[in-house]
Structure 1
Amino acid sequence: MSGAVHRLSALPPSAAVVVIGGGVMGTSIAYHLARAGVRDVVLVERGELAEGSTSRAAGGVRAQFSDELNIQLGARSLEAFARFGSEPGHEIGLHRVGYLFLLSEPQDVAGFEAGVALQQSLGVPSRMIDPDEAQRLSPLIVTEGLLAAAFSPDDGHCTPEAVVQGYAVGARRHGATVARHCEVLDIETRGEEISAVVTSRGRIATDTVVCAAGAWSRSVGAMVGVELPVEPLRRQIAVTEAIPGLPSSLPMTIDFSSSFYFHAEGPGLLVGMSDPDETPGFSTERHERWLPGLCQAMERRAPGLLDRRTTGGWAGLYEVTPDHNALIGSAVGLSRFLYATGFSGHGFLQGPAVGEVVRDLVLGREPFVDVTPLRADRFAAHDLRPEANCV
C-alpha cells in the first residue's frame, strides 16, 4: 500500500470545497458541484473509492418510503439512475424490476396503505396487491400468513461500485480532484469559519467542507465541535449458488416483518436480513450468529432457499441515526460546514438526489426539496422524523 500512496499525485494547496468521503454520497456531491462550475473541488477518501459502506450495499433503489422527503429523494434519484449511461456516462447494471414488500401484520398493511397513497400523490406508481399477485411476481415465496403486499415497478437494483466510479470519473472530467489514500486528520478553524483541512497527504486551505463520511461521520463532526449522531451497525449479506429458472423480472423482495430480503445476483440470489442482536461498532467481520434467524425467516417465507448453498457474502456498515432518517444540512455556529450522512440503509439509493441538494446548499440556491427537517440539531429539539420503511 505504501507504494501505491507514493505514486499518487500531489494535493492542491487550496480548494473552494473539500468533500470528505469517497462513497456514493461524496462522489455524487463532488460531481454535481464540479458540473455546476465550482472550481477547485477536492474529494478526499482515506482508502479506495467505495470501499466503505457503498461497496457493501445491496444495491436497491426505490421511492417506496413512508416519509415524503424520502419519497421525493428516492424518486429523483431513480430518474438519475435511469439516465446514468448518458449523465455522467457510465454503465451501472440498472435492473428496474420493482420492489415488493410482503406484509403479514395488520398494522404493517395499514401503514403501507397510507404510504402508498402518499407515494401515488407524489407520482410514484406503487400499489397494494394481494398475496397471489405477490407470488406471481416473486415465485420463490409462499403466501401462508401473508395479508397483502406493496409493489412499485419503477424500483429495482444496480451496482453500487459502478455508480461511484461513474460519479468519480465525471467529477474529474469537470475539473475536480479525487484524492484516494488521503485521511483527514484535522479541520482548522478561525472563530466561526473553516480555514483548512489537514490530511495525511498535506494541508488544503478552504472555507467550505462537506462531511459525507457515512458511518465515520461522528468523528469528522467532532473535529469542529459539531454533533452528528451517527452510529455504525453491521449488516450481513450472503450470495447463493445458481438457481435455475429465476425469472429475469424477479423484484427485490422484502419480508417486512423479519427484514429478510433477496434479489437476483447473477445466476443466484443476494440475500440479507438485519440482526436484532447486533450492537453498534465498526467491525465488518462476518459471523454466523445471524444465520439461525435468517434460516427461520427463509423457512417461513421462502423455504426453497434453505437447500441452496451460499457461495460468498460480506458484512458492511449501516450509518444509523436515532430516528433512522438522514442528516442533511449546515452546521449551526460554524460557517460552511455541511453534512450528508446518517442515511440508515437508504443512502446509496438517495445519492444522486442528495448530490443535487448539497450542491445547491453550497451555492446558496434553493434545492428541489426542502431538507431543513433533516437538520442534525433536530434531536436536540426533540423534533424526530422517523422513517418506517427501513429494512
Structure 2
Amino acid sequence: MADTLPSHASVVVIGGGIMGCSTFYHLAKMGVSDAILLERNALTSGTTWHSAAQVRALRHSRNQTRMIQYSIELYSQLEQETGQSVGWIQKGALSIATTPDRLTHIQRQEALAKAYGLNAQSISVAEAKERWPLMNADDVLGAVWSPDDGRVSPSDVCAALVKAAKKLGAKLFERTGVTGILTENGRIRGVESSQGTIMCDAIALCAGLWSREVGAMAGAEVPALACEHFYLLTKPVDGIVGNMPTLSDQDNHLYIRDDSGGLLVGCLEPLGKPIAPGVLNETFEFGLLPEDWDHFEPMMINALRRLPALEKAEVKMLLNGPESFTPDGTFMLGETAETRGLFLGCGMNSLGIASGGGAGMNLAHCIVHGHTAYDLPEADAKRFAPAFNNLDHLMARAPEILGTRYDIAFPGKQYKSARNLRSLPLDKEYRDAKAHMGQFNGWERPLYFNKTAEPVLRFDRPDWFENVRAEVMAAHQEAAIFDSSTFGKIEVQGPDAESFLLHVCAGHMTRPPGSVIYTAMLNERGTFESDLTAQRIAQDHYRLFVGTTAIKRDLAWLRHHSQGFNNVTLTDSTESYAVLGLMGPEAARIVHQCGATADVDKIGYFKHGTVHLAGKQVRAARMSFVGEAGWELTCRVDDVPAVYAALVAAGAKPAGLLAQSSMRIEKGFCAMGHELDGDTTPIAAGLAFTIRKGSGYIGADALVEARARGEVSRIISLTLDDNTAVPLGHEPIYLDGRVVGQTSSCAFGYRVGKPVGLGYSHEPLKDGVRVKIDIARQMSDATVTIGTLFDPEGMRMKGRG
C-alpha cells in the first residue's frame, strides 16, 4: 500500500472489487500511470470474495459475449503475466433442459453461439449424464455443452490485476473510505476521503453494493440495489473427483459445481430478498448475511431431486452474500448523464467475475478514449429513466431481476414489478380498448389491443398473432393510430440552432422551416450515437424526435457538444407534447371529417404544417414509419384526448407497437438497438443517402475513410418460406453451410404474408439468393432481398399507391 495520498490523479477508481481492480489494471495498461484505487476496507471485501466465480461466455448480444470472451482470455494469461495464480479452471459448462420450452431456449442459445463463433453443441441425455454422473437425468430432455467456459478464484484474480497495475506506477490505497465528491459546473473535480482530498479529472465508480449512495454524492443517479444471494457448500462427497463442469439446471433455478471435493449448489430463485440501503454499512467487510433455510428450502428440494447424493452430504454452510441488481438485469458502464467525468462500473447482477475483465477494459477505454472499445448500449449508464432510481421501485424490481436471470427468453416477456411508473396521456382510453401494455423507459405503451386474456408466452406463433394482423390490416386498408408520445422531444432554439445542428447531425439540416429531416448523430468514428427526426419549425427553432429510451443519452450528448455555441438552448419537452401517427388510405378522409381544411392536403412528403382537428391546433408531419400514407400529429398533451376521440369516431382504430414493428421490418426501416448502433456506419446500414456530402459534422472524416476502404451497405431483407416459422432476431444466417450473417429484427409480415426479417451479412449477398435461418437449430429456408419487401417504390406512404 502506498503511504501518502497524492494531491492529484488523472483517474480515481472507487472500490476494490473485481470491477475496480480490472478498471485500475486496464487504466494502467492504457498509460494512465497515475491512476489510484481507493478501497474503504480491503480488496474484494464487499461481494467479490464470495462470488461463485463462474465465467460463461454466451450472452444475448455479440458484444457482451465478446466482452466475456475477453475476460476468459485475460484470466487464462494473468498468471503468466504476473506470477500470481488466479485459479483458472476451464472445465466447461453443461446446460440441461427438463421442459420443451427450456429445450428450445438452450437450442436458441446454441444457435446464437454459432453466430458468435463460440464452441457449443447439443449432446444426448446419456452424454450429459456421463459428464455429470451424480446427476439424476430421468426428466432431462436435452443438453448443450460449452467446453470453453470455466471459473476462477475471485480474490486471486483481483490480487493479480492490482499487482500488474502497481508495477506500471498506479497506486492502491486500502482503508481509505470516500466521504465526499467535489464537483464544479456539473463536472468532477476531486474526491474527499478519510485520508485526505485528492483532485482528479475523472472517477471510476466501482463501489458495488454502495454505488447508489456514492453516486448521489456527485449528484448522479445510480439505480442499483442489493439482494440476498444463496449457495450451499458441502463437505467432500463420494463421486466428486477433481474438477467438473458447471451444471446449469435453470428450470429448477440451480447452478451446481464441485468445490474442494464437495458440492456448491447455488440458486437464482424466482423472487429474491431485497436489502434496503443502510443495512450494509462501512463495517460490512468480508461479511455474510444470516442463513435463511426457510427461504432456501424450495431450492433445496429441487437440488435433492437433481442430486440424490446431496441427501447424505454433510453441509458446511448455507452462504448468504449480497449482490447488486439493476432494473433491467444488465450492469451500468460509462459516463453518467448528470455529472461529467463520473464513470460507472457497477450493478453487476451476480455476473461480476464473468463480466469484470472485459467490462473493466471497456470502462477504462471509455475514460481514456471517450467511448467503449465496442458498442454496449444495453449497459449504457445513461439508459434509465429517473423513475427507476426511486427506492420503492428498486426494492420491488431488484428481487424480480434476480429471479429472471434463469427465465426462459420468451418473446413478449414483461416485468411484473415497478410498473405504471409513467403513463401515456391516453392511458385510460387504451386500457378501455383492452390494450396489452409493455414497459419502455418507464412508460406503459400498448403492444396490441382487444386482449381477451393474459397471453401464454411461447416460442411458436404467439397468442396475439391475430390481434396484430387486424391492426396491420386496419392501417393497410383503412386507418390506424400509432401512439409515439413516448418519443423524446428536444427543442433546439436560438440564432445558433442551425450551425449547432450542422455540427452534431450528419443530415440535411439547412432545409427551410416546414421541413421534416431524418438525420443521424454520429461519433468521431462515423458510427451511430442516435438517429432522429427533426422538424424545423422556424429559422431558429428545431424540434428533435428521438427514441423512447434515448432521451437521457441524446440530451447529454447534445449538451456536451453545444459548448462553443453560445446562442442555442436545449429543452426537454417530451412530456409537453403527444404524438399520434394516423396511417392508412382512409387517413385523408378522417382528418377532413375531424375539421382539417384543404391546407392539410398541400403538406408534401417530409413536410409539416399546422392544422386544426377537433378544434385543437395540431402540427401534422407528412411521413410514415409503417409504409402507409398519413401524418404524425403533434399536439399539446391536454389536447390529445379530444383529437384521439375525434379520430376514432371518424373510423380510425388504435394499433400497438407490435403492429408498428412488423410494418417497419416489411419496409426495411432501420432502428436503433436493432440495425443501428455504435459499431455501424450509415454506409453499412444502407443510409448513406441521408448523409450530406462534405465535412463539417462529427464523424465526417471517418465516413470518408470508410468509403475509401470500400465499405458498402450490408443490410438485407429476408422472407422465410415457412409460414409457421417464428424468427425473433439474432438468428444466424447460413449460406452453403457457413454463417454469413445474423438477423437483427424479425416479425410476421402480414402484408407480404410471410415471416420476415432484417439482418446484416458479413459478405456481399445478391438479391434473390437463397439462405437458411437457424431458429433453435431448425433450419428455415429464406430469400434475400436487397431493399424493401413491401411497396419498394414507396408509393403508398407518399399517397400515390
Q: Distance in 1 between matches of 2:370 and 2:381?
A: 20
CA deviations 1:187-242 (Å, max 9, x no partner) are 11011211110111111111200111112111111112211111101112222111
Give the equivalent residue in structure 1 for 2:327. 322
Q: What is the TM-score normalised by the length of structure 1?
A: 0.92
Distance verdict in 2 for CA 1:105–1:67, change over 3 Å: farther
CA deviations 1:113-153 (Å, max 9, x no partner) are 22221122112101222322211111111112222222211
The Cα shift of 1:32 comes to 0.9
Whether the 8 Å CA contact 2:188–2:201 is kept in 1: the answer is yes
Give the equivalent residue in structure 2 for 1:349. 354
Give the equivalent residue in structure 2 for 1:286. 290
2:363 aligned with 1:358, yes or no?
yes
Give the equivalent residue in structure 2 for 1:117. 111
Runs of 4+ in 1 over 4 A off after TM superposition: 386-391
Q: Please, which of 367, 371, 380 is the counterpart of residue 375 of structure 1?
A: 380
Q: Distance in 2 between matches of 1:53 and 1:26?
A: 12
Whether the 8 Å CA contact 2:135–2:307 is kept in 1: the answer is yes
CA deviations 1:256-279 (Å, max 9, x no partner) are 012222211112122211344532
The Cα shift of 1:8 comes to 7.2
The Cα shift of 1:170 comes to 1.2
The Cα shift of 1:382 comes to 10
Q: Please, which of 144, 165, 176 is the counterpart of residue 170 of structure 2?
A: 176
Gaps of 5+ in 2: 281-287, 389-400, 408-801
The Cα shift of 1:28 comes to 0.7
Q: Please, which of 229, 237, 262 is the counterpart of residue 235 of structure 1?
A: 229
Structure 2 residue matching 1:87: 3-state secondary structure:
helix
Q: Distance in 2 between matches of 1:381 and 1:201?
A: 33
Q: Distance in 1 between matches of 2:295 and 2:252?
A: 12
Give the equivalent residue in structure 1 for 2:156. 162
Q: Distance in 2 between matches of 1:313 and 1:47?
A: 25
Q: Distance in 1 between matches of 2:211 and 2:374?
A: 23
Whether the 8 Å CA contact 1:64–1:389 is kept in 2: the answer is no
Moved more, 119-128 or 308-317: 308-317
CA deviations 1:51-106 (Å, max 9, x no partner) are 11100100111103233333121111111111121234421111111111222222
Whether the 8 Å CA contact 1:32–1:355 is kept in 2: the answer is yes
Distance verdict in 2 for CA 1:154–1:363, change over 3 Å: same
Structure 1 residue matching 2:385: 3-state secondary structure:
coil
Q: Distance in 2 between matches of 1:355 and 1:260?
A: 28
Whether the 8 Å CA contact 2:253–2:270 is kept in 1: the answer is no
Gaps of 5+ in 1: 1-6
Q: Please, which of 6, 18, 24 is the counterpart of residue 24 of structure 1?
A: 18
Give the equivalent residue in structure 1 for 2:635. none
Whether the 8 Å CA contact 1:329–1:372 is kept in 2: the answer is no
Structure 2 residue matching 1:226: 3-state secondary structure:
coil
Identical aligned pairs, as a percentage? 28
Whether the 8 Å CA contact 1:13–1:203 is kept in 2: the answer is yes
Q: How does 1:265-280 map to 2 (within 5 A)?
A: 265-280=259-274
Q: Distance in 1 between matches of 2:242 and 2:304?
A: 24
Matched letter for residue 229 of structure 2: R
Matched letter for residue 315 of structure 1: N
Structure 2 residue matching 1:257: 3-state secondary structure:
helix
Whether the 8 Å CA contact 1:345–1:390 is kept in 2: the answer is no
Give the equivalent residue in structure 1 for 2:750. none
Q: Distance in 1 between matches of 2:64 and 2:156?
A: 23
Q: Please, which of 301, 311, 314 is the counterpart of residue 296 of structure 1?
A: 301
Whether the 8 Å CA contact 1:97–1:153 is kept in 2: the answer is yes
Q: Distance in 2 between matches of 1:38 and 1:364?
A: 12
CA deviations 1:30-51 (Å, max 9, x no partner) are 0111122213101111111001
Q: How does 1:52-201 map to 2 (within 5 A)?
A: 52-201=46-195
Whether the 8 Å CA contact 1:324–1:390 is kept in 2: the answer is no
Q: Distance in 2 between matches of 1:123 and 1:381?
A: 38
Whether the 8 Å CA contact 1:187–1:194 is kept in 2: the answer is yes
Distance verdict in 2 for CA 1:390–1:215, change over 3 Å: farther
Matched letter for residue 228 of structure 1: V
Whether the 8 Å CA contact 1:64–1:126 is kept in 2: the answer is no
Structure 2 residue matching 1:238: 3-state secondary structure:
strand
Q: Distance in 1 between matches of 2:119 and 2:25?
A: 29
Whether the 8 Å CA contact 1:88–1:166 is kept in 2: the answer is yes
Whether the 8 Å CA contact 1:236–1:286 is kept in 2: the answer is no
Q: Distance in 2 between matches of 1:344 and 1:117?
A: 25
Whether the 8 Å CA contact 1:71–1:119 is kept in 2: the answer is no
Structure 1 or 2: larger strand share?
2
Whether the 8 Å CA contact 2:253–2:299 is kept in 1: the answer is no
Whether the 8 Å CA contact 1:329–1:371 is kept in 2: the answer is no
Q: Distance in 1 between matches of 2:17 and 2:226?
A: 15
**RMSD across aligned positions (CA):** 2.2
Q: How does 1:31-46 map to 2 (within 5 A)?
A: 31-46=25-40
Q: How does 1:243-262 map to 2 (within 5 A)?
A: 243-262=237-256
Relative contact order higher in (CA < 8 Å, ≥ 6 apart): 1
Distance verdict in 2 for CA 1:167–1:308, change over 3 Å: same
Q: Please, which of 278, 285, 310 is the counterpart of residue 315 of structure 2?
A: 310
Q: Distance in 1 between matches of 2:220 and 2:370?
A: 23
Moved more, 359-368 or 216-225: 359-368
Matched letter for residue 254 of structure 1: S
Q: Which has the larger radius of gyration?
A: 2
Give the equivalent residue in structure 1 for 2:477. none
2:14 aligned with 1:14, yes or no?
no
